[in-house]
Chains A and B, each alone.
Chain A
Amino acid sequence: MVRLNINGKSIDVDVEADTPLLWVIRENVGLTGTKYGCGIAQCGACTVHINGVATRSCGMQVSEAVGKQITTIEGLAKNGAQHSVQKAWIENDVPQCGYCQSGMIMAAAALLKEKPKPTDADIDAAITNICRCGTFQQVREAIHMAAKSA
């Protein structure tokens, strides 16, 4: 049994300590907005925030997340108000298939927290998620838009 803090709530889950955090979030906690894409921390579809830092949850054992603040896409909006990144994503019609977008949004939100006015170079360095539909042009525009709105 491990105790996790996910989206501000304390949750006890009965899992082996070496289970990847991704699968605990998806299968034991039941939050499926965080996606499985590769399982080897390459694609970023599983990106969540651990104490505010964008982290690929497929490569992190659940035991490492104990005692830390875990935020998933479902917890990004606060008190029912969309995060500026979510608003910019909707305004820019960013997602195509959308499968990678939870991770993309979480990576973008973490970037803006660290660098409220990121340059294109900052975006290039921080957003390394794979999107096979190819939404990158809209992603870049939406990050700049979110930066302006904040």
Chain B
Amino acid sequence: MNFIPKMNRRSFIVGTAAAGGGLAIGFDLPLGGPQVIRAADDSPELTAWIVIRPDDTVVIRMARSEMGQGTITGLAQLVAEELECNWSKVTTEYPTPGQSVARKRAWGDFSTGGSRGIRMSHEYVRKAGATARTMLVQAAANQWKVQPAECVAANSVITHTGSGRKVTYGKIAEAAAKLDPPKDVTLKDPKDWKIAGKRLKRLDTAAKTNGKMIYGADFKMPGMLNAAIKQCPVFGGKLASFDEAKISGMKGVKRVVKVGDNAVAVVADTWWHAKSALDKLPITWDEGPNAKVQQAAVNARLKAGFDAEQAFVGNKNGDAKAALAGATKKVEASYAYPWLNHAAMEPLNATALYTPDKCEVWCGTQNGEAAFAATLAASGLPANNCDVHKLMLGGGFGRRGAFHDYVTQAVLIAKQMPGTPVKLLWSREEDMQHGAYHPITQCKLTGGLDADGNLVALHARISGQSILTSVRPEALVNGMDPATFQGFAATGEAAIGYSVPNLLVEHAMYNPHVPPGFWRGVNVNQNAIYLECFMDELAFEAKQDPLEFRRKLMSKHPKHLGVLNAVAEKAGWGKPAPQGIFRGIAQHMGYGSYVAAVAEISVIDGNKIKIHRIIGATDPGFAVNPAQIERQIAGSFVYGLSALFHGECTVKDGRIVQDNFDSYNSMRISEMPKVEAIVMPTGGTPWGGVGEPTICVAAPAVLNAYFAATGKRVRSVPLKNEKIYFA
């Protein structure tokens, strides 16, 4: 990295990890000033986030990425709430990472993962709205020669209460932009919200219903060529050679280029020509030692981790081992969770245009700054000569956040063809087989019950892969990956909801060669299954109702208990279910939000599951748009249940076996349960996230319901391996 901007004393430092591979730069909130900064159409800015046009259009700029989760609409609601503007006049745009860097990182963190979009930026975007409103009111008061306190701003109009004079934001914005911004602003109490907190429609829907929304894969430029790529099928292997002569005469083919040390790309007039030629290109790979890795060996190593001498301790109180030895009854079970591909609907892609003094990239990314860092590194050009233009993502789920291999490749290809824009699009097969996979782990749990059926000890030994070791080693704590313990932690944004007198949670780390990544929900996916299915086992062994068994351990965890009680009440837990319907329950915490679910299922022939209904609750502290949160609850259940029933990537000869949706299936509408969402914000700080947390409770709720229906415990994902399917 050749770019480290000057630090500002007032700025806080964002680590290299957060900025995505190398950018360590300050963050200076530019709330305006006497120098008017203008948008391209000459309209003035009132703070970096807000541009007001003469026709009263309010342009709200956001650094976070929209990938379906609704974050841009939610953030705009927060700005508009404080700005007191007319919501129907709101539009949004992305600043580019290049612009941000040139303005001391004016818009803050671009990273859109970890359900951070709103919860980590709500305060400064609301301040931007309040600052702009204060300046607009001041400008109107100045014009009328009255006190600002005599003026009221509402719906993009400022009114002088005494005289009834009015002026619109569009008319006064120019004068307001010349004022010094207030040093401090007071934010509204959320109970007074009129735009935020409401079930408003998304701002980006219409273009998603008529084919007009431009995703990265749709981007076009004059003279653009298209590239298809093949990477060494074995992770860690390299490109040895290819026989270009065999395909160079094929229709449309322009170039065949080496990309990095592990890939080759065909560049052609159309992508179909590029792909067709690539399929016929003779390629020799140097697959390296990983070509010997087989799934059975990986699984055996994972199991061996249960007894490994060395393990990191993620949470501990009392003496679990001694308490287990003295327990009246000991319960033991082991669980397994596989590798999973993100499989966003839009395969990875990026368009790059390189000239010796400039490099620009157009792509969908969850982190514009990380894509920017990848562009600088691959082009070798300084930050002033590069930029990234974000386009709509056809899904992210974590794959387009910490990993910009597709951007690096697009730049490396374009660099070999200066002056020609090149769009690189991965085939679905490349996307499936070169992912950053949900980490593979297993977990052995041992619980001890006393004579009265109380849980006196719990020991959970997780064995398997660490994401941070591979992706952000700087975030390890003395070698330990704290993220591995999501939902098992003593405190923080993913804390365990039970008080167990003697608790030990450990991780025996084993990192196979398959690259791990952040996959929607990350480690709560498996940890919620491990903990919540095992709690169900313990309750059964204690001859207690699963809800009552949990409640006894939750008196010191009122928010965990709150969501659990909410789903139980709505489901009518404790009252008989309809004939043939069986219930399962689960709760967890992740990303600062408390979540719970009750699943109602029936089982046909012992192995076909019909999920009739899932009640899902979340307490994210504050709910910026309840309608969108409900959609995230239902959508997250689809992602989580697709993994539970159909998921799993496996390794053979060092490479991923599954290569498309026929071998890596995903849920369809016929398998979709009715989702009844409970959005129950109870305030507090920090705010919780929305895109991910609920994903983790659907699977354990269904598995626990399956036990209630059949008396069978399924402890390994996916269910298809147990010959259990959707009905």
Tell whether A and B belong to one assembly. Answer: yes
B662 touches A40 (CB 8 A): yes
B121, CB-defined interface residue at 8 Å: no
Q: How far is the CB of B392 from chain A (nearest CB, A)?
A: 7
Q: Which of A129, A132, A135 contacts B344 (CB 8 A)?
A: A132
A134 touches B634 (CB 8 A): yes
B670 touches A133 (CB 8 A): no
B531, CB-defined interface residue at 8 Å: no
A47, CB-defined interface residue at 8 Å: no
B202 touches A39 (CB 8 A): no
A97 touches B631 (CB 8 A): no
Contact status of A124 and B670, CB under 8 A, knowing A35-B394, A39-B428, A95-B205: yes
A27 touches B660 (CB 8 A): no
A134 touches B213 (CB 8 A): no
Q: How far is the CB of B180 from chain A (nearest CB, A)?
A: 40
Contact flags (1/0) for A85-100 with B, using CB distance below 8 Å? 0100110011111111
Residues of B within 8 A of A26 (CB): 218
A93 touches B631 (CB 8 A): yes
B209 touches A105 (CB 8 A): yes
Interface stretch among B30-38, B238-246, B635-643?
B635-643
The residue in chain A whose Cβ has the minimal distance to the Cβ of B637 is A134
B661 touches A42 (CB 8 A): yes
Q: Number of contacting residues on B, CB 8 A?
A: 61
Q: How far is the CB of B424 from chain A (nearest CB, A)?
A: 14
B343, CB-defined interface residue at 8 Å: yes
B670 touches A125 (CB 8 A): yes
**B202, B428, B639, B669 — which one has the most chain A CB atoms within 10 A of its CB?**
B669
Contact flags (1/0) for B176-220 with A, using CB distance below 8 Å? 000000000000000000000000011011111111111101101
B345 touches A37 (CB 8 A): yes
B627, CB-defined interface residue at 8 Å: yes
Task: Give residues 87-136 of A contacting B (CB, 8 Å).
Answer: 89-90, 93-102, 105, 123-125, 127-136
Residues of A within 8 A of B394 (CB): 35, 97-100
Q: How far is the CB of B329 from chain A (nearest CB, A)?
A: 40
Q: How far is the CB of B41 from chain A (nearest CB, A)?
A: 26
Q: How far is the CB of A80 from chain B (nearest CB, A)?
A: 11
The residue in chain A whose Cβ has the minimal distance to the Cβ of B201 is A93
CA distance A29 to B272 in the complex (A): 13
Residues of B within 8 A of A40 (CB): 428, 660-662
What DSSP secondary structure best describes chain A's contact surface?
A: loop
CA distance A19 to B364 in the complex (A): 27
**A23, A37, A77, A96 — which one has the most chain B CB atoms within 10 A of its CB?**
A96
B516, CB-defined interface residue at 8 Å: no
Q: How far is the CB of B512 from chain A (nearest CB, A)?
A: 25
A5, CB-defined interface residue at 8 Å: no
B217 touches A36 (CB 8 A): yes
Contact status of A132 and B345, CB under 8 A, knowing A35-B217, A37-B428, A39-B427: yes
B635 touches A133 (CB 8 A): yes
A101 touches B669 (CB 8 A): no
B669 touches A124 (CB 8 A): yes
B253, CB-defined interface residue at 8 Å: no
CA distance A132 to B634 in the complex (A): 11
CA distance A89 to B206 in the complex (A): 9
CA distance A105 to B675 in the complex (A): 22
A6, CB-defined interface residue at 8 Å: no
Instruction: Categorize the interface residue count of chain A.
Output: 35 or more
CA distance A68 to B667 in the complex (A): 32
B270, CB-defined interface residue at 8 Å: yes
CA distance A91 to B435 in the complex (A): 36
Q: How far is the CB of B276 from chain A (nearest CB, A)?
A: 9
Contact flags (1/0) for B144-164 with A, using CB distance below 8 Å? 000000000000000000000
A70, CB-defined interface residue at 8 Å: no
Q: Which of B68, B343, B668, B674 contacts A95 (CB 8 A)?
A: B68
Residues of A within 8 A of B202 (CB): 93, 95
CA distance A138 to B638 in the complex (A): 12
A72 touches B211 (CB 8 A): yes
Contact status of A73 and B211, CB under 8 A, knowing A35-B394, A90-B206, A98-B68: yes
A10, CB-defined interface residue at 8 Å: no
B428 touches A89 (CB 8 A): no
Residues of B within 8 A of A86 (CB): 209-210
Q: How far is the CB of A134 from chain B (nearest CB, A)?
A: 3
A137, CB-defined interface residue at 8 Å: yes
Q: Which of A33, A45, A73, A74 contacts B345 (CB 8 A)?
A: A45
CA distance A73 to B209 in the complex (A): 8
Residues of A within 8 A of B135 (CB): none
Residues of A within 8 A of B638 (CB): 131-134, 136
Contact status of A97 and B70, CB under 8 A, knowing A16-B251, A139-B669, A140-B669: no
Residues of B within 8 A of A101 (CB): 208-209
B392 touches A135 (CB 8 A): no
CA distance A130 to B394 in the complex (A): 13
Contact status of A38 and B669, CB under 8 A, knowing A89-B205, A97-B67: no
**A31, A32, A76 — which one has the most chain B CB atoms within 10 A of its CB?**
A32
CA distance A37 to B426 in the complex (A): 11
A28, CB-defined interface residue at 8 Å: yes
Q: Which of A16, A20, A133 contacts B395 (CB 8 A)?
A: A133
A132 touches B343 (CB 8 A): yes
CA distance A124 to B220 in the complex (A): 36
B272 touches A20 (CB 8 A): yes
A65, CB-defined interface residue at 8 Å: no
CA distance A28 to B270 in the complex (A): 8
B607, CB-defined interface residue at 8 Å: no
A43, CB-defined interface residue at 8 Å: yes
Residues of B within 8 A of A57 (CB): none
**B67, B394, B425 — which one has the most chain A CB atoms within 10 A of its CB?**
B394
A34, CB-defined interface residue at 8 Å: yes
CA distance A123 to B627 in the complex (A): 23
Q: How far is the CB of B425 from chain A (nearest CB, A)?
A: 8
Residues of A within 8 A of B214 (CB): 32
Contact status of A136 and B347, CB under 8 A, knowing A28-B270, A98-B394: no
B666, CB-defined interface residue at 8 Å: yes
A128 touches B672 (CB 8 A): no
The residue in chain A whose Cβ has the minimal distance to the Cβ of B218 is A32
27 contacts between A and B (CB under 8 A): A23-B271, A32-B217, A32-B218, A34-B211, A37-B346, A39-B427, A39-B428, A40-B662, A43-B661, A77-B210, A82-B209, A90-B201, A95-B202, A96-B70, A97-B67, A97-B344, A97-B393, A99-B344, A99-B395, A101-B209, A127-B670, A132-B639, A133-B635, A136-B638, A136-B672, A138-B631, A138-B634
Interface residues of A (CB under 8 A from B): 16, 19-20, 23, 26-28, 30-40, 42-43, 45, 72-74, 76-77, 82, 86, 89-90, 93-102, 105, 123-125, 127-140
A-B pairs with lowest CB-CB distance, top 10: A33-B211, A134-B638, A99-B394, A98-B208, A97-B68, A96-B68, A134-B635, A124-B670, A32-B218, A73-B211
Interface residues of B (CB under 8 A from A): 67-70, 201-202, 204-215, 217-218, 220, 226, 251, 270-272, 343-347, 392-397, 425, 427-428, 627-628, 631, 634-639, 642, 660-662, 666-670, 672, 674-675
